[in-house]
């Protein structure tokens, strides 16, 4: 039998004990029962507070079976996943399950925050999993909250409309759904904002040695590979400034074939870097 949430399993007996003590406290009116209620109540509070960590730890030991329907969905919508076989495919699936278990995904509305649909969560989580396939820390440190707006948004620290924002120190990435969807549908015309956000966070948190790549990080190379001038990327992201190294690395994943054809030297450096010897 596959256990999807060890925290729920652990909480069940504590909840039953709490109900038993509470029932006897009310019916028998024995205050000793009331005093002992503090024990299961404390256990339940601790399980609630550490639920993500408990479930993540358990699933690292006992990976849950990957959802067949989700697998078919990803095959149709994620070229990288569709290309995987054998151990690499299993590795991707296990990491994706763990990432979605350990990270919070919320859609931000005018009045409330809502959970993001499961298939969309999988698509979003596929980006950091692909980025870190050859990295031990596929969770990218404590980058544990992903917030989604429907359209470009302002924030207290950036009071102008933009489509991507990362706060590595606070573990937050924020993006606009319309800009994400445009890049997914027409990658030749729209730069992929979410790849920018995750690569930016990865470089800040993991701090890999990127010195071998920095000499290539100029907008001339970026435009040659993907056809995106700096002004185009600034317009799509809404940012006042962008890091060409972050953009170049993201293009290795979103425009791999174009990079291989138009800038084979850059492609080779990226390939070696992400194969593990640069990380």
Residue 55 lies in a domain: no
Residue 132 per-residue DSSP state: T
Residue 114 per-residue DSSP state: E
Does 76 lie in the same domain as 31? no
**Contact (CB, 8 A) for 198 and 173:** yes
Q: What is the pTM of this model?
A: 0.80
Joined tokens for residue 46: 């601790």
Does 86 lie in the same domain as 31? no
CATH number at residue 100: 3.40.390
Does 109 lie in the same domain as 245? yes
Joined tokens for residue 262: 């138009």
- Of 105, 101, 100, 171, which is closest to residue 142 (Cα–Cα)? 171
Please give the residue range of the domain that contains residue 38: 6-49
Does 29 lie in the same domain as 156? no
Does 165 lie in the same domain as 131? yes
pLDDT at 116: 93
Does 262 lie in the same domain as 187? yes
Does 145 lie in the same domain as 193? yes
pLDDT at 84: 96
Mean pLDDT by 10 residues, the chain (279 residues): 58 74 70 73 73 66 82 96 95 93 89 90 97 92 94 95 95 97 96 97 94 96 97 97 97 97 96 75
**Contact (CB, 8 A) for 126 and 80:** yes
96: buried, middle or exposed (CB in 10 Å: 19+, 13-18, 0-12)? buried
pLDDT at 12: 78
Does 109 lie in the same domain as 39? no
What's the rounded Cα separation, in Å, for the pair 42 and 239? 46
pLDDT at 48: 66
Does 152 lie in the same domain as 15? no
Domain count, the chain: 2
Does 101 lie in the same domain as 27? no
């Amino acid at each position: 039998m596959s256990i999807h949430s060890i925290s729920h399993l652990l909480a069940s007996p504590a909840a039953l004990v709490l109900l038993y003590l509470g029932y006897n406290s009310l019916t028998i009116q024995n205050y000793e029962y009331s005093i002992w209620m503090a024990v299961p109540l404390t256990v339940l509070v601790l399980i609630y507070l550490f639920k993500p960590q408990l479930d993540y730890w358990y699933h690292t030991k006992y990976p849950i079976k990957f959802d067949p329907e989700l697998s078919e969905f990803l095959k149709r919508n994620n070229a990288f996943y569709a290309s995987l076989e054998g151990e690499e495919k299993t590795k991707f699936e296990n990491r994706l399950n763990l990432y979605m278990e350990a990270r919070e995904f919320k859609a931000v509305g005018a009045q409330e925050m809502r959970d993001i649909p499961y298939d969309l969560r999988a698509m979003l989580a596929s980006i950091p999993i692909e980025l870190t396939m050859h990295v031990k820390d596929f969770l990218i440190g404590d980058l544990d909250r992903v917030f989604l707006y429907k359209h470009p948004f302002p924030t207290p620290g950036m009071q102008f409309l933009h489509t991507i924002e990362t706060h590595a120190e606070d573990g937050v990435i924020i993006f606009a759904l319309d800009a994400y969807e445009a890049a997914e549908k027409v990658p030749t015309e729209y730069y992929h904002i979410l790849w920018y956000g995750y690569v930016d966070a990865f470089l800040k948190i993991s701090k890999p040695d990127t010195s071998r790549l920095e000499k290539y990080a100029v907008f001339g190379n970026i435009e040659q590979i993907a056809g995106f001038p700096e002004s185009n990327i600034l317009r799509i992201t809404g940012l006042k400034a962008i890091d060409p190294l972050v953009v170049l690395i993201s293009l290795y994943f979103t425009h791999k074939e174009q990079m291989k054809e138009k800038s084979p030297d850059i492609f080779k450096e990226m390939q070696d870097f992400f194969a593990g010897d640069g990380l």
